[in-house]
Amino acid sequence: MSEVASEVIREMKREFKVVGKSVPRRDGIGHVTGKTVYVDDISFPGMLHLKMVRSPIHHGIIRNVDFSEAEKVPGFVRVLTHRDVPKNIYTILCLIGVGPDEEPVLAVDRVLYKGEPIAAIVAETEEAAMEAVSRVKLDLEELPAVFDVEEALKPDAPILKPWGTNYFIYEGHHCRRVRFGDVEKGFAQADYIIEEVYNTSPIEHAPTETTACVAKPEPDGRYTVYTNTQALFFTMDNTALILQVPFSKLHFVGGTVGGGFGGKVDVITEPIATLAAMKTGRPVKFKYTREEEMRVSSTRSAWRMYFKDGVMKDGRIIARKVISYADSGAYNRHTPYAVTKHAANIAGPYTIPNVYIDAYCVYTNRQPASAMRGFGVTPASFAVECQMDKIAETIGMDPWEIRFINAYRNGDMRPHQKVVEDATLIEVMKAAAELVGHKLPEHLLKMHSWDREKA
């Protein structure tokens, strides 16, 4: 490391209280000593337990649900169906202006994925609730299912959405589109055409504590909800909308998330647990088993990304076309929003004069996908950087140089019509090279992000 860089770091340590210093986590001592209180540690006298009756098939019509045997289980208290939910639709996207809302809280007449909740059983103990769930008799007519994004877009695929398509509609279009320059003209001028397809699989968040909440009626008529949600006010607002009650009637208490990474923003347990507390007048706990967490909680979306690049002999990328498919699973959750972010980032942090992007949000009969650590952007970054390495290998150029040559700089126009104002990519790459001991040639060291003409 250079003396200048070392002096900068020393100055940062003197000036800042956090940057460049080891700061103990506020909750670290509680975690390692076992004193942290998680949602599953919370209990109240007379507390009931809620478990879900879930679909055993991926796609089907609900003909009948028979609770008669479940009601005979000792400790059974009551059942909740879609008829009990005031607004039986998840509203997690309406608060950011994305619609339509299309996922029921409890299934009405059909199921779209294996594990979809059909009814909730409330009982005196967790064991009694699970036993009652096992005795519910489901009469389902199984329908053909689709599990691949491209298969779902074929004309003969089973249609999953009431609007008649297996894709989300963006302002009247079948996908989120980006058009910049003339990509076909760029391909015609290019010395190389480099194509590849990149796939990512669904990823389960696997939090330490599974998704859980406890809803407790209060003497003043309010309901206190203890939850490991990642987004406390977002969850409270959506619960109020689903239950059609004033926001002031709910008091949400967060704290230890128990691991989330994005998956605990979906507002899945809180509305139904609070409804059960309203119907019974008693505290109600609803927590996922580890199997439920793996099988029915939202995953990171699976993506399939087709790249076609036009590249010059000197390493400049002059055209990039990407067709990308996000597997939303059976419902929206946060995937339509993720696809918008994806489309804005799939060209990468590079200045390319001709760009064509079609990014699809596709519905399949898989469990719904949702937010996870830069959702939409992370798979884009993976694919882009793999493609940059492939370009470098194909034309015989150093992979560092290919990135410096194409790096965006202040004043450049991004494909989604935003002028770059705060680029530091070149500076970051130079610092990274120094940290790993990679010696860059002088002409790359002279580059910077502020003046392309003089770089």
Q: What is the CATH number of domain 176-203+298-445?
A: 3.30.365.10
Structure tokens at 205: 């968040």
What does the pLDDT profile of the chain (455 residues) look like in tens digits? 556 556 665 665 567 777 777 888 888 899 899 999 999 999 999 999 999 999 999 999 999 999 999 999 999 999 999 999 999 999 787 777 777 889 999 999 999 999 999 999 999 999 999 999 999 999 999 999 999 999 999 999 999 999 999 999 999 999 999 999 999 999 999 999 999 999 999 999 999 999 999 999 999 999 999 999 999 999 999 999 999 999 999 999 998 898 889 989 999 999 999 999 999 999 999 999 999 999 999 999 999 999 999 999 999 999 999 999 999 999 999 999 999 999 999 999 999 999 999 999 999 999 999 999 899 999 999 999 999 999 999 999 999 999 999 999 999 999 999 999 999 999 999 999 999 999 999 999 999 998 665 44
* Nearest residue to 224 via CA among 282, 279, 268: 282
DSSP string, 135-150: H-EEEEEE------HH
| Strand 250-253 versus strand 223-227 pairing type | parallel
Strand order in the sheet with 317-329: 176-180, 355-363, 317-329, 302-311, 192-200
C-alpha 233, offset from chain centre: 18
Smallest Cα–Cα separation from 328: which of 294, 357, 354, 304? 304
Contact call for residues 48 and 276 (beta carbons, < 8 A): yes
pTM: 0.92
Are 267 and 299 in contact by the 8 Å Cβ rule? The answer is no
Q: What is the DSSP letter of 263?
A: G
Residue 174: burial class (beta carbons within 10 Å; 0-12, 13-18, 19+):
middle
Per-domain residue ranges for the chain?
3-36, 176-203+298-445
Packed helices 335-345 and 377-395: angle between N→C axes, nearest 10 degrees: 30
100 prior amide bond cis, ω within 30: yes
Between the alpha carbon of residue 379 and those of residues 7, 22, 198, 202, 326, the distances in Å are 36, 31, 9, 11, 10
* Beta bridge partner(s), residue 66: 137
| Integer Cα distance of 98 and 102 in angstroms | 11
